[in-house]
């Protein structure tokens, strides 16, 4: 499916500076009233880079309206930061200078953009990688988000996202704020030095203890294994392709079709032959 890219600059109540949200969507001029589900894609610490845009474009080409927020609008223009030492240092600095409540408003505004889009049917999912994996995780608390896939999400286990390096993501999980909401998928590489085994185990246990609908996937890969540019020899194209297919299956099953109101049957899953 062909796709097209645009952007909107949306007022942000906490910073006084607009946030730029890029939109990638199917291009079907002969069907101007077509409706598609929406997906918010949250980027790494470098904002919306080429690899992130290509990742989002692949989702859009499957039949989704995709929103990509530039989350460092508090400090910088919406342009991507370079994959070099300076860009990495700036991205890591902005990550811990930004208020958690500003991240959360970014998420809310991104979902708002999709819900208001004339070609979006209002059924929303979220995904993201690295920093964006954590932001997607927080998006899962939004009742409008029906499915979330987090790729090597950083700082969840250590609760060190945002200003003061003291976020409440797992605290909110323990308080039951994800139970009964959308489906969640966590994807990690076992060789990821940013999220060690102890951290992954903590995330899994916290989610399972809280009764979250969860798939937890660990693979033989390093951090940033989906990045097809400046990956420091970590990119695994075959593994990315397979996991991308898993993600699309989740999106198709949860937001790709309108199945009506979910009925909670209780007890074991009922299998219909």
Give me the active site residues, please: 130, 192, 223
Angle at 53 between CA 238 and CA 90, to 5 degrees: 105
CB atoms within 10 A of CB 31: 9
What is residue 241's three-state secondary structure?
helix
In this structure, what token pair is assigned to residue 102?
């500003």
Which one, of 124, 116, 104, lies nearest residue 258 by Cα? 124
In this structure, what token pair is assigned to residue 152?
């090597």
In this structure, what token pair is assigned to residue 134?
């954590």
Rg (CA), the chain: 18
User: β-strands 36-42, 183-189: how paired?
Assistant: unpaired
In this structure, what token pair is assigned to residue 2?
């062909």
Dist. CA 99–CA 165, nearest whole Å: 10
User: β-strands 183-189, 65-69: how paired?
Assistant: unpaired
User: β-strands 120-129, 36-42: how paired?
Assistant: parallel
> With the CA atoms of 234, 163, 166 and 221 taken in that order, what torsion angle do they form, in degrees rounded to the nearest 10?
0
Which one, of 68, 65, 88, 67, lies nearest residue 78 by Cα? 68
Dist. CA 253–CA 20, nearest whole Å: 30
């Amino acid at each position: 499916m062909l796709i097209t890219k645009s952007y909107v600059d949306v007022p942000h109540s906490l910073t006084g500076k607009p946030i730029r949200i890029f939109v990638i969507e199917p291009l079907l001029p002969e069907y101007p009233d077509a409706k598609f589900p929406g997906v918010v894609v949250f980027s790494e610490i470098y904002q919306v880079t080429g690899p992130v845009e290509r990742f989002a474009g692949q989702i859009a080409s499957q039949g989704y309206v995709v929103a990509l927020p530039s989350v460092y609008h508090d400090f910088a223009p919406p342009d991507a930061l370079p994959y070099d030492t300076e860009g990495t240092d700036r991205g890591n600095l902005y990550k811990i200078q930004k208020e958690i409540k500003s991240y959360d408003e970014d998420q809310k505004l991104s979902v708002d953009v999709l819900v208001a889009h004339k070609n979006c049917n209002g059924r929303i999912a979220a995904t993201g990688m690295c920093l964006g994996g954590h932001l997607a995780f927080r998006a899962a608390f939004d009742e409008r988000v029906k499915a979330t896939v987090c790729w090597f999400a950083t700082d969840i286990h250590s609760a060190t996202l945002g200003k003061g390096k003291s976020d409440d993501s797992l605290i909110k999980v323990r308080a039951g704020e994800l139970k009964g909401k959308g489906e969640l998928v966590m994807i990690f590489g076992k060789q990821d030095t940013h999220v060690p085994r102890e951290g992954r185990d903590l995330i899994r246990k916290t989610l399972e203890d809280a009764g979250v609908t969860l798939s937890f996937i660990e693979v033989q890969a390093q951090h940033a294994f989906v990045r097809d540019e400046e990956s420091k020899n970590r990119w695994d194209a075959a593994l990315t392709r397979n996991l991308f297919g898993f993600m699309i299956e989740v999106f198709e099953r949860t937001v790709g079709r309108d199945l009506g109101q979910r009925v909670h049957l209780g007890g074991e899953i009922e299998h219909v032959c």
